[in-house]
Amino acid sequence: MRINKVRDMSDAELKVSMENLRRELFNLRFQLATRQLKNTARVKEVRHDIAKILTVEHERTMGVASKKQEVK
């Protein structure tokens, strides 16, 4: 997931996406623990996507605009 795509999402979309990613991460961890996970790199991707959403949420609460948004 690209950061620009995350920044274009509304607050409600971010919340839904976060819930889905956390649920997916839980399932991936469970599969990893039971040795059923085929693609272990997906765990890292999901963690990074969660971090991107948290970053955008924090930016919005702090009122910080991204550098690209300031230039426009």
Looking at residue 27, its pLDDT comes to 98
Cβ pair 18, 53 in contact under 8 A: yes
> Residue 71 above 90 pLDDT?
no
Average pLDDT over residues 40-62: 96
Looking at residue 69, its pLDDT comes to 60
Q: Which CATH number belongs to the domain containing residue 59 in this structure?
A: 1.10.287.310
How many domains does the chain fold into? 1
* Residue 53 or residue 64, greater confidence: 53
Which residue range is the domain that position 53 belongs to? 3-71
Q: Can you read off the two tokens belonging to residue 14?
A: 């971010």
pTM: 0.84
Q: How confident is the model at residue 57 (pLDDT cuts 50, 70, 90)?
A: very high
Q: To 5 degrees, how large is the angle CA 71–CA 14–CA 44? A: 95
| DSSP string of 14-63, one letter each residue | HHHHHHHHHHHHHHHHHHHHTT--S-THHHHHHHHHHHHHHHHHHHHHHT
